[in-house]
Amino acid sequence: MKAAHGSRMVAEGVHVTFGGIAALTDVTLSLRQGEVLGLIGPNGAGKTTMVNVLSGFQQPTRGSMKLDDVAVGVKGPHMTARAGIGRTFQAGRLFRGLSVGENLAVAAMSAGLGNRLARKRAAEILDWMECLDMIDQPCDSLSYGNERRIGIGRALALDPKFALLDEPASGMNEAECQALMHLIAAIPRDFGCGVLLIEHNMDVVMGACERIHVLDGGKSIAEGTPAEIQSNQAVRRAYLGDKATHRDSQPEAA
């Protein structure tokens, strides 16, 4: 299942406006194949809008999105997925009338595999996720946490160069979040793709990501390693707030 590293996804100078209101202003970020990049910020910071741009669901007002120097965002979500970018959604969007295995197989077939190989890929991914016992389970019977995990599996079934995960830990308990953190961290190693992770659970972000990009009010305010982001005062004020102060037991500078 592992792909070769080397691709790079770059969004440069991205602006998005809705009715004159700026959702994103001059956002630039890059992600290389084989790493996990966190995208964090308070509610309304523009994170999901950014993922929509990267996956072709939202056309930027200005700016560009390129995969290996080839513009892909303007081609729409289907062609963007074909170019090597898979994603999950905050709402699961699984095919309710299909089983877990069929959901993954449909994704694999949309990436060009025939039925037999698509079902084989689905089984391999579910086995990797330790969810093979769910392969015949109807998707409408899944718990919320398992629905989120299967959404990740479906994105991986596309055999992407980059997987964009939109709040996968939402609604999970602490044990499920810890398991998810290890799962996400293993994706580049086992599948060779890069991962962009949008997440509010800071334990998952800090444990899975090599770099973190921070948005606030639609603008980039910081990027760095987890340690650098934890100690960044602008980030602490905008997002981490009291949680960061409590973590290191140090009062924030006035």
Q: What is the pLDDT of residues 32-51, one digit of tens each?
A: 999 999 999 988 899 999 99
Q: What is the pLDDT of residues 98-147, one digit of tens each?
A: 999 999 999 999 888 999 999 999 999 999 999 999 999 998 898 888 88
The H-or-E segment that residue 182 falls in is: helix 174-191
Residue 63: closest CA among 22, 6, 19, 32? 22
Q: How far apart are CA 7 and CA 176, in angstroms?
A: 31
pLDDT of 69 above 90:
no
What are phi and psi for residue 244, nearest 5 degrees? Answer: -70, -40
The C-alpha torsion from 42 through 46 and 52 to 58, rounded to 10°, is 160
**DSSP label at residue 238:** I
pLDDT the model gives residue 18 = 92
Q: Tell me if residue 186 falls in helix, strand or coil.
A: helix
What are phi and psi for residue 165, nearest 5 degrees? Answer: -110, 115
Percent of the chain with pLDDT over 70: 90
The two tokens of residue 156 are 């991986």
Q: How confident is the model at residue 5 (pLDDT cuts 50, 70, 90)?
A: low
pLDDT the model gives residue 30 = 95
The two tokens of residue 116 are 């037999």
pLDDT the model gives residue 250 = 44
The answer to whether 81 and 72 have CB atoms below 8 angstroms apart is no
Task: Give the residue-averaged pLDDT of 77-92.
Answer: 82
pLDDT the model gives residue 238 = 80
What are phi and psi for residue 41, nearest 5 degrees? Answer: 160, 165
Q: What is the pLDDT of residues 154-171, one digit of tens each?
A: 999 999 999 999 999 988
Q: In the chain, which ranges are E strands?
A: 8-18, 21-32, 36-40, 62-67, 70-71, 85-87, 162-166, 194-198, 211-216, 219-224
pLDDT of 195 above 90:
yes
Pairing of the two strands 70-71 and 194-198: unpaired
Q: How far apart are CA 117 and CA 156, in angstroms?
A: 14
pLDDT the model gives residue 81 = 84
Distance in Å from the first CA to the final CA of the chain: 50
pLDDT the model gives residue 33 = 92
Q: What is the pLDDT of residues 197-248, one digit of tens each?
A: 999 899 999 999 999 999 999 999 999 999 999 999 988 888 655 444 444 4
Percent of the chain with pLDDT over 90: 64
* CATH C-level class of 8-248: alpha beta
The H-or-E segment that residue 154 falls in is: helix 144-157
